[in-house]
Amino acid sequence: MRIFALLALLTLSGCRGWTSTEPPVHPNPNMDTQIKYKPYRESEFFEDKRDMRPRVDGTVARGDLANKDQPVITYKLMQRGRERFNIYCAPCHSAYGDGNGMVGRKLPIKPTTFHSDFMRTQPLQHFVDVMTNGIRTMPSYKHQIPMEDRWAIAVYVRALQELGSKEKK
């Protein structure tokens, strides 16, 4: 019995803990202490001193290749876009695209109008990306709308914008 008490005492006294300036014993370092770049740190190697490298021009993200193929813009494509837009987008963005659709006006965050200077200067690709990935509180529509139709809708959004800027004048 006494031996147990002694062992317990020894074990507990071992738990005192003390500080040391020596590095901890690290029998198996694996890759814990490798030399590497971390986000937003400085690099001595690159001229601009950034360790996060900018994307090389023309890089296409994995799985994104299909997005890049803008179809030839035809009247037929735009008509298809109008039909799809009125089904999928108009309830929120309105048939005119000012964000005042029946559903949209009830949302806590209003759908963006397409008739702002910012929206007018966006490339068609941006609208396709928004439909594919969603943006902020707007969900993705990639499962409902096939890629060709996303392009068709983007073309129609551009047509609405043209209409809007003509009316403004």
Nearest CB to ligand HEC, comparing residues 104 and 164: 104
- Give 135's strand partners: 138
Among 115, 141, 158, 164, binds ligand HEC (CB under 6 A): 141
Q: Enter the DSSP assignment of 140.
A: P
Among 73, 79, 83, 88, binds ligand HEC (CB under 6 A): 88
Residue 152 in contact with ligand HEC, rule: CB under 6 A: no
Handedness of CA 126, 73, 68, 138 (dihedral sign): positive
Residue 135 in contact with ligand HEC, rule: CB under 6 A: yes
Residue 87 in contact with ligand HEC, rule: CB under 6 A: no
Q: Enter the DSSP assignment of 71.
A: P
Q: What is the DSSP string of 65-120?
A: GGGG-PPPP-HHHHHHHHHHHHHHTHHHH-TTSSS--TTGGGSSSPPPPS-SHHHH
Residue 111 in contact with ligand HEC, rule: CB under 6 A: yes
CB of 21 to ligand HEC, least distance (A): 51
Among 93, 132, 158, 160, binds ligand HEC (CB under 6 A): 93
Task: Say if CB 86 and CB 95 are below 8 A apart.
Answer: yes
Q: What is the DSSP string of 36-64?
A: ---TT-B-SSSTT-BSSPPPPTT---TT-
Residue 103 in contact with ligand HEC, rule: CB under 6 A: yes
CB of 141 to ligand HEC, least distance (A): 5
Residue 95 in contact with ligand HEC, rule: CB under 6 A: no
- Interface residues with ligand HEC (CB under 6 A) are 88-89, 91-93, 103-104, 107, 109, 111-112, 127, 130-131, 135-138, 141, 145, 153, 157
